[in-house]
């Protein structure tokens, strides 16, 4: 008689099947085209691998399967998955209980200033809304000014209609033009932001694209995911660094938040034949910037997200543990947003296969908000350096052994050459 399986066990088995399948499909793109991969072909490949017919690459795929299993396992549904509103309410109550100097309750983020890139949709919009609701002044850094103004107007109306919030609790919203894929527009945004005279307490690097099916380039000629997800944000952070350091204090440091992804684990640096610093440097020199010949929609996405983590680690190393600003990275979860709208085939497959792991946008924004308000985030960074968070808690995923200090320095130097050229 077969044992009775719990729902969670059944979901874990399904997750394992999805992870194994994705490992083969992503790695074996020469054997299975993205357009024609079918269940029968996959089962045949899996059977051949199991029988030892392709030992040269079956063994290598085990590491990818393991990584994909970790991604999906971490996203299994939980009844304790908080929304962004719930996270900030929790920490607002904690702050109010500690600070009664004004004699009345006041918003946790009153007087603070945040810049949120990609704030017209998805978790960027939700992050901006929740911060505004709790008294933070928020700059929506967006590609489309008209859409940005519409989104801000809707946010403020909805906040005003919320019985739990009043106009006295609402921060001010600003819409400013920024396309992070264009380095010259990043320069323009810096100038415009400085002209406002505002401080900057939270720089939330959220804008991104995922897996365009064909190789596309930015205005400066860089692969679009590399330019949008990483290089533009790297440039923006360097441009605003002095404002961040001048706005924070040691007790309440400014925070730079890199919205990365657990998909970064698919970047195959751990599969290199040597662990030497020189080898890591050589590979980064070959990959920064990415070229058209080696383009793979998902792997280039993974690379851009890995670079965000390396940038956070190197930025925090340069600042030191006692600085007036901290850098963190996070995985928001698997969320059905417009992130992969440029690749309809991947969008349909990805979200259908992982439907049982999906978070709502409100849940997906919760870890970003957690990184903004939680005291333990600062404590963790002071103790361990730049840290990585998922599901509103610290995770060791960032501590991949190949993410060495030398690798972070090399990524920083190569990126600096690109933006300074």
pLDDT at 308: 96
Work out the angle at residue 101's Cα, subtended by the Cα atoms of residues 98 and 104, and round it to the nearest 5 degrees.
85
Rounded Cα gap, residues 283 and 204, in angstroms: 29
CA–CA separation, 97 and 76 (whole Å): 34
What pLDDT does residue 282 have? 56
Q: Which helix (H) or strand (E) holds 310?
A: helix 297-319
Give the contacts of 170 (CB within 8 A, at least 6 positions apart). 132, 133, 135, 156, 159, 160
Q: Residue 189's pLDDT is what?
A: 98
Confidence (pLDDT) at 74: 52
Mean pLDDT of 114-127: 96
Query: Rounded mean pLDDT of the chain?
Result: 78
- CA 62: distance to chain centroid? 25
Mean pLDDT of the 304-322 span: 95
Task: Determine the pLDDT at residue 89.
Answer: 84
Chain segment 327-337, per-residue pLDDT in tens: 999 999 877 65
d(CA 318, CA 314): 6
Beta strands in 286-379 (DSSP E): 325-331
- Residue 310 near residue 271 (C-beta atoms within 8 A): no
Residue 293 buriedness (CB in 10 A; 0-12 / 13-18 / 19+): exposed
Span 171-188, pLDDT tens digits: 899 999 999 999 999 999
Q: Please check the confidence at residue 36 and state whether its pLDDT lies above 90.
A: no
Average pLDDT over residues 124-136: 94
Distance of CA 364 to the CA centre of its chain: 10
pLDDT exceeding 90 applies to what percent of the chain? Answer: 49
CA distance 73 to 357: 9
Per mean pLDDT, which range of 77-81, 107-111, 361-365, 404-408 is the poorest? 77-81
CB 236 within 8 A of CB 186: yes
The reply to whether 301 belongs to the active site is no
Structure tokens of 245? 């350091």
Average pLDDT of the segment spanning 47-53 = 51
Radius of gyration of the chain (CA): 22
Q: What is the pLDDT of residues 236-282, one digit of tens each?
A: 999 999 999 999 999 999 999 999 988 888 887 643 445 555 555 55
* Confidence (pLDDT) at 213: 87
Strands (E), 145-299: 173-177, 202-205, 254-259
Q: How far apart are CA 125 and CA 117, in angstroms?
A: 9
- Please identify which of the residues 202, 295, 301, 370 carries the catalytic annotation: 295
Q: Give me the half-sphere count of Cα atoms (radius 13 Å) on the Cβ side of residue 219.
A: 10
């Amino acid at each position: 008689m077969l044992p009775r399986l719990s729902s969670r066990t059944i979901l874990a088995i399904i997750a394992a099947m999805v992870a194994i399948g994705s490992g083969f499909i992503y790695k074996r793109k020469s054997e299975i085209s993205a357009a024609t991969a079918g269940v029968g072909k996959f089962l045949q490949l899996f059977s051949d691998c199991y029988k030892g017919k392709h030992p040269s690459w079956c063994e290598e795929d085990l590491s990818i399967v393991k990584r994909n299993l970790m991604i999906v396992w971490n996203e299994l549904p939980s009844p304790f998955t908080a929304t962004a509103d719930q996270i900030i309410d929790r920490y607002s109550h904690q702050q109010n209980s500690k600070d009664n100097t004004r004699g009345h309750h006041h918003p946790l983020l009153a007087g603070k200033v945040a810049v949120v890139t990609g704030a017209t949709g998805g978790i960027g919009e939700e992050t901006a809304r929740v911060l505004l609701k709790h008294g933070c002044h928020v700059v929506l850094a967006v590609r489309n000014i008209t859409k940005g103004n519409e989104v801000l107007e809707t946010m403020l109306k909805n906040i005003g209609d919320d019985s739990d919030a009043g106009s006295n609790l609402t921060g001010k919203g600003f819409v400013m033009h920024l396309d992070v894929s264009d380095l010259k527009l990043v320069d323009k945004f810096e100038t415009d932001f400085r002209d406002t005279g505002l401080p900057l307490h939270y720089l939330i690097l959220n804008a991104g694209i995922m897996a365009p099916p064909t190789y596309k380039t930015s205005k400066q000629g860089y692969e679009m995911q590399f330019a949008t997800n990483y290089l533009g944000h790297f440039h923006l952070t360097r441009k605003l660094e002095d404002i961040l350091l001048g706005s924070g204090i040691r007790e309440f440091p400014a925070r730079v938040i890199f919205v990365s992804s657990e998909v970064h684990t698919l970047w195959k640096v751990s599969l290199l034949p040597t662990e030497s610093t020189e080898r890591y440097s050589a590979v980064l020199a070959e990959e920064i910037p990415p070229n058209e010949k080696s383009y793979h929609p998902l792997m280039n996405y993974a690379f851009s997200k890995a670079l965000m983590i390396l940038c956070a680690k190197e930025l925090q190393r340069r600042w030191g543990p006692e600085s007036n600003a901290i850098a963190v990275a996070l995985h928001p979860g698997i969320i059905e947003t417009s992130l992969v709208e440029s690749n309809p085939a991947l969008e349909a497959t990805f979200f259908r296969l992982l439907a049982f792991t999906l978070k709502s946008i409100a849940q997906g924004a919760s870890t970003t908000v957690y990184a903004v308000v939680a005291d333990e985030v600062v404590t963790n960074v002071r103790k361990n350096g730049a840290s990585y968070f998922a599901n509103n808690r610290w995770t060791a995923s960032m501590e991949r052994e190949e993410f060495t200090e030398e690798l972070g320095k090399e990524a920083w130097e190569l990126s600096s050459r690109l933006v300074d050229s």
